[in-house]
């Protein structure tokens, strides 16, 4: 029996970023545990593994693309995969403009049960096919732990949406995989709750977590949600994890996507997740906020310029 077991301390041993860790909770004084010199003890609190207290910064690889490695990474594509031609047109356009990852929803979490619900596994197959043809790693949302095994075959990164940001069974299931998780902030979640959700994935042993700010609900409804740029700056300091900004969902309308992205990049985002559709007027979901391919070209030029300007010393 180990000393931790003798003491009846709840704990978990895991290896993250090449370091052997013992996470022990609640609020354990590491010096009381008499552990071996090789063990790094992390006392459990609301969030610990995602905290910058023990690690300054992390890089997450999505397919071959490094997020948090010093270059701005843009993931772009339609809100939902609607069919092969639509997806291929979107993917070709975003690739030509410089996006490094392809996004597309297959399991869509829709507010109304009467709205288009996505193509499910067929959508994932199309993403894999089109992404493979164009050499773009793919990102897609899972909404239920039962989808994780099937989706694993097709995606390079799982997206956890705002509506499932505290679906702890889903987070636990993703913690058991080794593929990156883009973890959106729930629209009613505090920063502490968001980072605690990240700890659910990390505690499972999956070190590949990217935080994604996508807007919160406030008293003002001029835009769809309020992009919390302050939280972007805060999590860059509070956490070692790479940070993504989704400017599309807070914008709600095409014309606001670019200014929100510029603010997110200036606040410290390592990545952007943007909706682009070959013919947004005909989109089956989020038609008002998806960029046209020509808007996206201009968007890429500007976000790249602001990224360079805000990172140069
Ligand atoms: C999406 O990215 O299409 C989506 C549903 O986002 P969110 O979960 O942020 O609403
Ligand atoms: Mn959408």
Q: What is the pLDDT of residues 191-250, one digit of tens each?
A: 999 999 999 999 999 999 999 999 999 999 999 999 999 999 999 999 999 999 999 999
Residue 214 near ligand 1, beta carbon < 6 Å = yes
CB contact at 8 A, 157 and 137: yes
Residue 236 near ligand 1, beta carbon < 6 Å = no
Residue 104 near ligand 1, beta carbon < 6 Å = no
Q: How far is the CA of 81 from the centre of ligand 1 (A)?
A: 13
Q: What is the C-alpha to C-alpha distance for residues 104 and 124, in angstroms, rounded to an integer?
A: 8
Residue nearest to atom 4 of ligand 1 (CA): 161
Residue nearest to atom 6 of ligand 1 (CA): 161
Residue 249 near ligand 1, beta carbon < 6 Å = yes
Phi-psi region of 63 (alpha: psi -120 to 50; beta: other; left: phi over 0): left
Q: What is the C-alpha to C-alpha distance for residues 117 and 283, in angstroms, rounded to an integer?
A: 13
For residue 171, what is the enclosing H or E element? helix 168-175
Phi, psi angles (nearest 5°) of residue 187: -75, -5
What DSSP string describes 111-151?
Answer: SSTTS----THHHHHHHHHHHHHHT--EEEE--SGGGHHHH
Q: What is the pLDDT of residues 239-277, one digit of tens each?
A: 999 999 999 999 999 999 999 999 999 999 999 999 999
- What is the SS3 assignment for 14? strand
- Residue 113 pLDDT: 95
Residue 161 near ligand 1, beta carbon < 6 Å = yes
Q: Distance from first CA to last CA of the chain, Å, rounded?
A: 53
pTM for this structure? 0.96
């Amino acid at each position: 029996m180990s000393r931790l077991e003798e003491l009846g301390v709840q704990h978990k041993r895991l290896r993250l970023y090449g370091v052997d860790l013992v996470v022990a909770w609640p609020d354990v004084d590491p010096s009381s545990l008499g552990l071996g010199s090789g063990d790094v003890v992390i006392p459990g609190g609301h969030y610990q593994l995602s905290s910058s207290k023990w690690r300054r910064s992390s890089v997450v690889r999505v397919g071959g693309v490094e997020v948090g490695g010093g270059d701005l990474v843009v993931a772009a594509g339609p809100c939902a995969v609607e069919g092969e031609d639509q997806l291929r047109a979107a993917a070709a356009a975003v690739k030509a403009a410089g996006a490094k990852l392809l996004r597309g929803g297959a399991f869509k979490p829709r507010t109304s049960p009467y709205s288009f619900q996505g193509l499910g596994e067929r959508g994932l197959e199309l993403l894999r096919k089109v992404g493979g043809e164009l050499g773009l790693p793919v990102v897609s949302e899972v909404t239920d732990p039962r989808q994780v095994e099937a989706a694993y075959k097709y995606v390079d990164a799982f997206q956890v949406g705002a509506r499932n940001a505290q679906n702890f069974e889903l987070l636990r299931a993703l913690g058991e995989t080794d593929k990156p998780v883009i973890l959106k902030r729930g629209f009613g979640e505090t920063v502490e709750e968001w980072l605690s959700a990240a700890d659910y994935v990390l505690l499972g042993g999956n070190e590949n977590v990217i935080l994604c700010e996508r807007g919160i609900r406030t008293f003002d409804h001029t835009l769809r949600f309020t992009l919390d740029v302050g939280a972007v700056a805060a999590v860059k300091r509070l956490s070692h994890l790479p940070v993504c900004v989704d400017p599309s969902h807070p914008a709600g309308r095409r014309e606001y996507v670019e200014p929100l992205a510029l603010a997110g990049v200036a606040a410290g985002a390592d990545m952007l997740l943007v909706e682009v559709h070959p013919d947004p007027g005909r989109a089956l979901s989020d038609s008002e906020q998806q960029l046209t391919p020509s808007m996206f070209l201009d968007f890429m030029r500007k976000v790249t310029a602001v990224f360079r300007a805000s990172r140069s010393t």
